Copies of this chain bind each other. A is one copy, B any other.
Amino acid sequence: MKMPASFIAGDRGPWRIARVVAVRGEPLDPARALTVVEDGAAAAGGAAWVLRGVRSHDRYTTRAEKDQLTMSSPPLGRPGMHAALIPIRKSAAWWQLAQDERRAVIERSRHFPIGLEALPAVARRLYHSRDLGEDFDFLTWFEFAPDDAPVFDRLLLALRATEEWRYVDREVELRLVPASDGA
């Protein structure tokens, strides 16, 4: 049985929320810290907000793309990494497209080649939220060495300039540093 992961914002947690950018649409309530609970029912009393998502199968990548991405991707959980949580919602117009139309937009947007350019610097995990009735459709999680922050910034800029991103109607960017890096 698959349990959703929970991203819990509050006063305390292993990740300090260093910066929040409401890229598009409604922001999230401010909070100091974030806790990520994988595969568990998270008690979230007093949380500023909780976002939930499940790790699921890939929806667009071909076998060749999937293998190439997997081969070049670093693992999550390396020590000393900074992180980012970027919840994203796409518009009704996106979800009304057929599979081949969505895939065509993703191809024209060079989504996977752009992603590859950030490898092996940026570790990534995608959580699906749409079928859970959440406010966002996806939660994207990234980890990278502090020195690789410019690689990650270029990735975000490149993706946000694409045709695909015209279908994004809500996006919030949270930049996270280990709480142990000092309050």
Residues of A within 8 A of B (CB): 1-4, 54, 56-63, 65-66, 95-101, 103, 128, 130-133, 135
Contact = CB atoms under 8 A, between A and B. Distances in A.
Contact of A128 (B1, B99, B131): B131
Number of copies: 2
A149 to B, nearest CB: 31
A135 B58 CA distance: 20
B56 A131 contact: yes
Given A61-B99, A63-B98, 7 more contacts: A2-B133, A54-B131, A56-B131, A57-B96, A62-B101, A66-B98, A131-B131
A130 B59 contact: no
Contact of A58 (B1, B60, B65, B99): B99
Contacts of A99: 58-62, 103
Contacts of A101: 62-63
A58 B2 contact: no
Contacts of A135: 1
A56 B101 CA distance: 16
Contacts of A56: 130-131
A59 to B, nearest CB: 6
A57 B101 CA distance: 13
Considering the complex of A and B, which 3 residue pairs feature the smallest CB-CB distances, nearest first?
Answer: A63-B98, A62-B100, A131-B131
B63 A100 contact: yes
Given A58-B98, A58-B99, A99-B58, A131 B2 contact: yes
A2 B135 CA distance: 9
Contacts of A95: 57
